[in-house]
Structure 1
Amino acid sequence: MAGEDSTRHWHQVRQIVRPTLGVLALLLVINYVLLPQIAGARKTIHLLSGVNVWWLVVAAAAEIASLLAYVRLSQLTLRWPSLRFRTMSQIDLSTLALSHVVPAGSLVGVGVGYALIVRAGVPRSQAVTGKTVQTVGSAVILNVILAVGLCAALVLHGSDPLYGPIAAAGLVLLVSVAIITVLVLRRQQRIIELLTRLLSRLPHVDPAVGQRLVSSLADTLRTLGRDRTFLRQTLLWATLNWMLDALSLWCSVRAFGHALGPVGLVVAYGLANVAAALPFTPGGLGIVEGILVPTLVAFNTTRGIAILGVLAWRLFSFWIPIPIGLACYAPLVARGDHTEEPEPDGDEAEQTEPGAREPRT
């Protein structure tokens, strides 16, 4: 039965992914063949001939380190000691790859990641809570980094029409997270009642799921406030994930001869990634490039270097993880070790009590 389940699941994913791969192949050609022509054929050839390969190697290494920091953040927020780092790496790479090849990729990726985490043996409520804390926490950290960059840019470089809407969206996110946190902690029972009432109207949905989710989320939030080590580690790994990715972008631009200043890097990177979170295209494809290039140009990067630097960074952060992640996805589905939600034994239950810390692997 588990084998049939895995085969059906893999077949469904192939049905979703296959039509998109042709479009991605076309976009790959447009990105790396046609787009550089904007800078001019002669200038592009000159820049490519003078590229510093070692900076590209450092960019690739920084991107790998960023992905590993994200995996560690996933493992930390799930708080399930038996979930190995290797398994979590496969899950996160699979999720990343699928989010890069399907429309509304970020939303699909979250759902697939949750399913794979449950299959790996993490209880459903804990999987939802862990991914929620990770996703929202990462978004908050990104918006804080962008806010700092925007403040510095406004002081040093003046205003820009692009800053306002993105800064407003970030502010709305931060306020929303604060309000939801307060409501869950102070009005937990009321939230459970409202969510249960809403879920009871939906077909094939168990209203008790809402109660378990809110209770688990409230416990995790209390743990974040009470367990300062857990909070510090969560903030540290989320920040490292973003900053190492930004470093990869800096190195990619530097490889073509331009050294970005810290303000220009943070603002360009932050604006592009906040906008990329909107589920319009897979992985923000086209949106990221469309924001990064003109923003880098606004911070004194020549157009040719901006285009080639962004394309090099997107090769490491967007395109290369696709085949790697899809290769990781097949064995995870075929394994089929856990199809039902496991019940933690005594030791595991004790380790997942609020306040318990997951050991570093």
Structure 2
Amino acid sequence: MGQEMNKERVVVAMSGGVDSSLTAALLLDQGYDVVGITMRLSDENRDIAPDGRSCCSLSSVDDARHVADVLGVPHYVMDFTKSFEHAVIDYFFDEYLRGRTPNPCIACNRYIKFEGLLKKARELGASYIATGHYACIDRSEEDVYRLRKGLDLEKDQSYVLYHLNQKTLPHVLFPLGGFSKSETRRMAETYHLPVAHKAESQEICFVPRDDYKAYLLEKRPECARPGEIVDRTGNVLGMHEGVAFYTIGQRRGLGIAAPQPLYVTALDAVKNQVVVGGADEVHAREFIASDLTWTMWNGLDQERSVQAKIRYGKREAAARIIPCGPESIRVCFAEPQRAVTPGQSVVFYERDVVLGGGIIDEVID
């Protein structure tokens, strides 16, 4: 009995997928007192995803509960719908209406899955929270916690975790960081987990049928405000259906006949204009980023050479980051980058260590 009392408690965010299920199984094997929590985030997509590919679907809750039963650990469903609506869904709409492209998965990780869940975990007497993200955490000789890329670089998810810092990193576990996806599938079979071969979840869990345009039209009909499509000198080339329906770098669906391919290069919500240009105009070398967070520091106090990544799935590229105020920095790439998109996150690395990141605010022409 004494040994049981000495176990450290960990709350595992169980979405009903193979990664979070294996996370719970591994931690249980390592001697932790595991408590599974499924976060109820939104009702938008709960009954439209019968295959369970949405983490908000009813079948995913049932899958998580089933896995917890197999492992013999307690499982709870907790309601985070109000905080999710404010921090993720409202933000999602607001950014599109501002002519920016949001990243709801990063907002969810930052404010719900870590900040919100960590608070709940402490109420349950847990020392840690754990998720199935493919990333690693270690501790330097200087006693500094570091967020690092996952071993499988194709699956690495450190980009969406750049908000973690010295207050949160000591209380977070990523058991899958040292494995590949194929290895986790095999291990899930070994543990006889009923979700071992379940398909990956969709990217935006709360958008029905993954159709963000239809969702915007339903929830924010004011976004369907037609306007002009112009070139960078202001010549009108056509008409658009609403700035929110376009993204930087987009080529198809512009409805413009031109001698050369045209791409969306900027979105101006104030003027209600979509700006287009040639292939060379969709590249940029510099931009301003704000809403900064740093994994190991309180702030950036001098210019620094880094590797920077401007979207999930894109490789990092050499850049310099330069403080230009207490809450913003200038990011200067060595080579022009395609489709630098306001609203998206930029994340900074030094080799495989995440230094921090921020939100792209303004592209410098």
Shorter-chain TM-score: what band?
A: under 0.3
Structure 1 length as normaliser, TM-score?
0.24
- Structure with the larger RCO, 1 or 2 (CA within 8 Å, 6+ apart): 1
Structure 2 length as normaliser, TM-score?
0.24
Which protein has the bigger strand share? Answer: 2
